[in-house]
Amino acid sequence: YHQAIYLQTNIRNNSGTFKSDSGTSGPMPNAVSGATTFPVAPRDSVVELTISAFFATVDGKLGAKDIRDPKYASSKVDVHESRKPEGASEDIPDYVTYFIFVEDTSDADQVAGSGQFDDSVVTVHLVKTNTNPIPPPPPPDVVKPYNPVLDRPRPSKLPNYLKEYDVIFLIDDSGSMKGDRWREATQALNNLSNYIIENGWDSDGIDLRFLNSNTIFKFRDELVNGVEDKDKVAQAIGKVQPDGGTPTGRRVRELLDIHVGKLEQAKGTEAYSQIKPLDLICITDGEPTDDAAHEVGKMLVEVANKLRTKPPHHPNSLGIQFVQIGGDEKAKEALTKLTQLDTGNIVDTVPYNGPGSITAERLERILLGALHPNIRAMRAP
């Protein structure tokens, strides 16, 4: 007999009838395209999928529209699901698969001894995709072979991000950070660190640095005993007390020069392709107080020019985010101006959302929500 499955979404002009004529078997093809699948692209809004099953015992052929008559509706369905198992690798995306088994005939019309729900099956596979944008190709003359991560969307999950990126948290320890701002920033960093440690995720690429203090906390060197080392992050931060000015330009230049130096030294070798991109996250409350020689905008432009010296490094080799803590308007204005400089779009800023807004969860969103520099370039006015 004839069978058909009709699929329809709430997206305009997005439907299809899959049918097989009497005497045929195998996958039901789309009556128009011949395809045996019905892909639905990810969207920002909810997609509703309606599935209808039909069968008809009439002689001759039935068109796709004809068989969708309610009088040909199948009797019932049985739905089962399969989800991503707990403990599965983080590299496997979240998914759920629905198996919809169709029984065409009613119970009264069933042949004695015949199976139930064995007339057709519809498989619906939902996969949580990475919605971060795909970056454009780099200039053709960039240094090669570079890390292929630079051409991929930024990871949407923290464990995957930590495998593929190096990150430096640069904490403003100037005198103006005393009190609530210092507690808010350091507690957020400590909580994020403990979250990573407790889950056993790769943290080798995380460093904590400070604007004034020379204290350096490298996760790869300090965290050697897993969860037992949770307190070490808080202990390291506890050794630093906010005091002094805000030498943002000097310290940012120092840290970025180290990364650019690694790139320069590895040019022309296989090691170059193993260098992870760097994210520098500077948490600061104030306008920089550097002298003219180390003015932060000047430092950033000079680093960007190093990256662009022919042959240039990949534009996504590093990125800097200035995360403001506190509502100082002069600081906000100064940080915003940094994004307007000719830095190859390596700079972005994150505004302050009020007391208590700098949390471990927000820092995670900052890491995962950043844009590749060459995507920022496409969106620049």
- Condensed to tens digits (0 to 9), the pLDDT of residues 179-211 reads 999 999 999 999 999 999 888 888 899 999 999
Using alpha carbons, list the distances in angstroms from residue 257 to 100, 117, 231, 253, 337: 58, 66, 31, 6, 22
Q: Among all chains, which residue has been given the structure tokens 């190859």? A: 344
The pTM for the full model equals 0.71
Average pLDDT over residues 275-292: 95
Whether residue 114 has pLDDT greater than 90: no
Angle between helices 360-369 and 180-198 (to 10 degrees): 70
pLDDT score of 8: 93
Q: How far is CA 348 from the centre of its chain?
A: 17
User: What percent of the chain stands above pLDDT 70?
Assistant: 97
At residue 103, φ and ψ (nearest 5 deg) are -115, 120
Token readout for 147 is 């890390």
Using alpha carbons, list the distances in angstroms from residue 321 to 167, 197, 204, 345, 348: 11, 23, 20, 11, 5
Close Cβ partners of 143 (under 8 Å, ≥ 6 residues apart): 263, 267, 268, 272, 311, 312, 313, 314
By the 10 Å C-beta count (0-12 exposed, 13-18 middle, 19+ buried), 68 is classed as middle
Whether residue 90 has pLDDT greater than 80: no
- Provide the pLDDT confidence category of residue 359 given band limits of 50, 70 and 90: very high
Contact at 8 Å (CB) between 300 and 257? no
pLDDT score of 100: 95
Average pLDDT over residues 19-42: 90
At 281, is the secondary structure helix, strand, or coil? strand
Which of 217-226, 291-300, 350-359 shows the lowest per-residue confidence on average (mean pLDDT)? Answer: 217-226
Start-to-end CA distance of the chain, whole Å, equals: 61
Tens-digit pLDDT profile for residues 252-262: 999 999 999 99
Token readout for 286 is 């104030």
User: What percent of the chain stands above pLDDT 90?
Assistant: 74
Within 104-228, strands assigned E span: 120-127, 166-171, 206-210, 217-218
Which of 30-44, 131-145, 159-173, 214-228 shows the lowest per-residue confidence on average (mean pLDDT)? Answer: 214-228
**In sequence order, what are the beta bridge partners of 99?**
80, 123
CATH topology of domain 148-379: Rossmann fold (3.40.50)
Token readout for 24 is 């045929």
- Provide the pLDDT confidence category of residue 41 given band limits of 50, 70 and 90: confident
Whether residue 223 has pLDDT greater than 80: no
pLDDT score of 44: 63
Token readout for 133 is 């944008």
Average pLDDT over residues 115-119: 84
**In sequence order, what are the beta bridge partners of 234?**
none
Tens-digit pLDDT profile for residues 314-323: 999 999 999 9
- Provide the pLDDT confidence category of residue 224 given band limits of 50, 70 and 90: low
Count Cβ atoms below 10 Å from residue 36 Cβ, excluding itself: 11
pLDDT score of 130: 75
Whether residue 96 has pLDDT greater than 70: yes
Token readout for 90 is 């983080």
- Provide the pLDDT confidence category of residue 121 given band limits of 50, 70 and 90: very high
Whether residue 287 has pLDDT greater than 80: yes
pLDDT score of 261: 97
- Provide the pLDDT confidence category of residue 220 given band limits of 50, 70 and 90: confident
Whether residue 25 has pLDDT greater than 90: no
Average pLDDT for the chain: 92
| Domain map (residue ranges) of the chain | 2-127, 148-379
Average pLDDT over residues 233-261: 96
- Provide the pLDDT confidence category of residue 366 given band limits of 50, 70 and 90: very high
pLDDT score of 52: 96
- Which amino acid is residue 51, in one-letter code? I
Length of the chain: 381
pLDDT score of 227: 66
Q: Report how far residue 367's alpha carbon sits from residue 93's, in angstroms, rounded to the nearest whole number.
A: 19
